[in-house]
Every structure is written in structure tokens, then in C-alpha cells.
Amino acid sequence: MSTPHYINGRWVSGNSINRITAYDPSLGQPFDELDAADAAQVDEAVTAARRALPNWSKAGAVTRADYLQGFADSLEERRENLISLLMQNNGKPRHEASVDIDDAVATFRYYANLIRPLNGQPDNAVALPTVAFSSHVRLEAIGVVGLIVPWNFPLVTSAWKLAPALAAGCTVVLKPSEITPLIEQVYGQIADELELPAGVLNIVMGLADTGAALSDHPGIDKLSFTGSNAVGSLVMRTAATYCRPVTLELGGKSAILVFEDCDLDQAVEWIIAGICWNAGQMCSATSRLLVHESIADALMLRLKSAFEKLRIGNPLTGEVDMGPLTSKAQWVKVNEYLAIADAEGLHCLTGAGTLQSGPGWFVSPTIYCDVPSNSRLWTEEIFGPVLCTQRFATQEQAVAMANDSRFGLVATVISTDLARAERVAEALDVGHVWINSVQVVFAQTSWGGTKGSGIGRELGPWGLSAYQSVKHITRFIG
């Protein structure tokens, strides 16, 4: 990839001395390399976006919707190639990669359909308590936005940000993760095909210094970041310098609550999906299992058997249930937590080891039972297939245990008593709750958390409003 950056409608080479390497985590081997963008190229991208903003923000909603529909259609046409790239660079099993492509396509289609009826819609009048004044409200593009996206769900997370930003009339500078630098280039390829006006979409690849140059650029009107709490704090500090708005989707240490009236076999399926999907590399991973004491022993037996039957390996060489961790750094981190568990004397029901499924970065799906609340494995985000369990006696105790966390992204409730499940869902201090379900996410629903899990919401109409500013125009009539 000699020209990996898409700036002002052109593919250009990177000018940084830094190089980005794409790895196949199933093999632990590199398969591509490219030059990173430097700070001057980030400035060039922001300048191009600023130049394109007036015309794009004034383009009709139908025009923007047509482009969004074009992105959806073109992503779908590239489906097999994109699935293969996710399998190779992320280590995702085929069925997970397929879901990711479907998610990105659905997101662009949703926002196309959401804004299409708005074309030519007059400003909304606002009722006032006097006839001496009239007032109306306009929703306008917030401006040039910087989008910094993670490696665990590339293409998906960028679609969640890019589609509503373009729909709102914003222009964009997108910075993909250096761990998965290739797949988001498809957006530039599609922009070329659709003849998207130059500067509306810009893509710069790079390491942390490239992300810092983008987040610290004075020409950015809003930042949207998905990633770790440590980096999110830096992004927020930088944004404070300019008093610019931010959307932050950060970490999680989410709970899954299993009540005594559940179907045990069904509960096992939902628990595994919550911790082993994407090898546990999810901010929404339900890594804290809270189970009613009356069924805990029976559930643990089933879970142990199910974990040990999972097919783990290279998704490119066979059908698997779970692939490797995406990077060596993440593999090292997860193994460090396994060592912490050993030092803390935690009871390991199964797992806690490196798998010999190949030369890549594989770990065993792991369960620790009766983990103390002060354990680092109970309180800290691991980002791997490591499940920690505790028991509860009452509904009130279960809710209190689930809410006892500095994070508040998601939760899952498993119970055949739907009235109780709804009560529990209402009591949980999180942004999204599933009842008797895997973690299915629809473009129509909101995404985001409370407490340390971030600021703001993505998806649904809330995702669109995150890229809009509100302007009131009030006129004296007399």
C-alpha cells in the first residue's frame, strides 16, 4: 500500500518516519506494511474538510442520503473481500465477520432512510407565550469532525460514526487503528466510485502521534473516540482546551445476571456469546457473571463443559467458534491477568492457559469462580475471554453487585419472569440492557454508557443529533 491515505479526494503516500504493520494474529506474522501520515498531512486533511464543509452542509438531505445508500450498496458488493480481511487481520471467525459487514451496511442504510424525508423540510416553528415574537429552530451540521476508531470492530465502529456525521452534513477526518489499518480504506475507495466531493471524507493512518495530531488540531469542531479509558481521558483533556464537544465510548466491566428460573442450557449459550464473541475483545463483554446461588453449581458444570468444547483456531483454515486475540500486545495483557489470578489464588474452573492452536496469539476461554469483589480481575477490563463469577441470593443483592462498578456500558438479564427482568433492567445503571438475548445491536437503538464507560450516544436518532448543532432564530414582530 504505497498510497494508503485518502486526503482531499486523492490517495497519497505517508510522510511520517513511522511505519504501520498489519499482522495475521492466527500466525503471528505480518502481511502488509505502510507509511504513517505525519502531522502536516493531518493538517492537510483537516484543511480539506474545512474547505468542503460549506457545500456539503448545504447539500440537500436527499443528496446526502443517496451517497449513504451508495456506501451501503458498495460495502455489500465487497462483502466477501471484507469478510476475508476481517478474518485475516482481526482473527474473527467467519460468522462474526459476516455480522460485522451486515452491521456496517445496515448503519449506512438506516441513516440514509432517516434523513431522506427531511429534504426541503422547513425550519420547525417554536410556540412562544406572546404573539409579539416568532421563533424557529434549525438543526445544522456541527462542522468538521475527527473520528478515531478502535481495532476490535473496525468498519463497524467507523460506520457508526461516519454515517451519521455525513448524514448531518459534517465533513470528516477518520483515523483508523494502527492494528487494523487496512479495512477502513474501503471507505476511500467507495468515495472515489461515488464521486463524493473532495474533502468530505479524509482518511489518515498512523500511530498514537497521528491520533494526537488530529485530536489537538484547532480546526476540528467535534471529536468522536472509541477506545480505552486512558486514551479517552487524553482526548477529553485536549477537547477541553478548545471547549469542543466529544463523544467517548470507552471501557466496560459488564454484568450478566442469571436468575433461578432460567433455562440452564439457554443461559450457557448467552453467557458464552457475551464473553467469547470476538475472543472477549469487546467493551460490552459481560465478563462478570452473577448467578443465583440455588443454580450456581449446576450452571458451572454446564459452562465448564461448553467452554471446553469450543472450537478455537485459525478462521482461514477451518470453521471455528473463537479465533485468536488480535494483537500480541493484547495477548500479553490477557496473560498478565491470568498471572494476577494465579497470584491472587483465584479458583480456576477451566482455561487459564495459552493454546497451541497455532503459532498465533491464542488463549483458552477461562472461568474463575467465586471471585472476590476486590480482585483486579473482577474490577478491571481484561479485554479477553475471561469470565469471573459470583453468587447472589436476592434480586436486590444482584442489582447492587452489578451496579458496583466504575463502568456502566451494558448488562444482560436472564429470567423467564419477564416482569422481574424488566424491573432489574430498569434498576441497572448502564446504557443498554438485553433480556434473554445475545448482544444484538440494531442501528435504530442507542449505544453508549454511564459512569466510566463514556459520554454521549451513538446509533439511532441520538447518533445523528451528536453531529448537529441547534440554532434558534427569534424575530420581533411587534
Pairing assessment for the beta strands 468-476 and 144-148 based on DSSP bridges: unpaired
Alpha-helical runs (H) found in 310-345: 328-344
Q: Are 307 and 351 contacting, i.e. CB atoms less than 8 angstroms apart?
A: yes
Edge-to-edge strand list for the sheet holding 171-175: 10-12, 5-7, 201-203, 171-175, 144-148, 222-226, 246-249, 454-455
Cα(36)–Cα(181) distance, rounded to whole angstroms? 10
Residue 249 annotated among the catalytic residues of the structure: yes
Cα(167)–Cα(139) distance, rounded to whole angstroms? 12
Query: Residue 288 is placed in which grid cell?
Result: 462478570
- 243: phi then psi, degrees, rounded to nearest 5: 50, 40
Q: Which of 249, 276, 369, 388 is catalytic?
A: 249
3-state secondary structure of 232: helix
Q: Which of 170, 283, 369, 388 is catalytic?
A: 283
Those residues with Cβ within 8 angstroms of residue 163's Cβ, 6 or more apart along the chain or in another chain: 68, 71, 107, 108, 110, 111
CA 308 to chain CA mean position, Å: 28
Query: Residue 19 is placed in which grid cell?
Result: 511505519
Cα(244)–Cα(291) distance, rounded to whole angstroms? 43
Residue 170 annotated among the catalytic residues of the structure: no
Query: Residue 472 is placed in which grid cell?
Result: 434558534
3-state secondary structure of 301: helix
Cα(157)–Cα(299) distance, rounded to whole angstroms? 34
Which residue spans within 266-346 are E strands per DSSP?
288-292
**Which residues carry out catalysis?**
249, 283
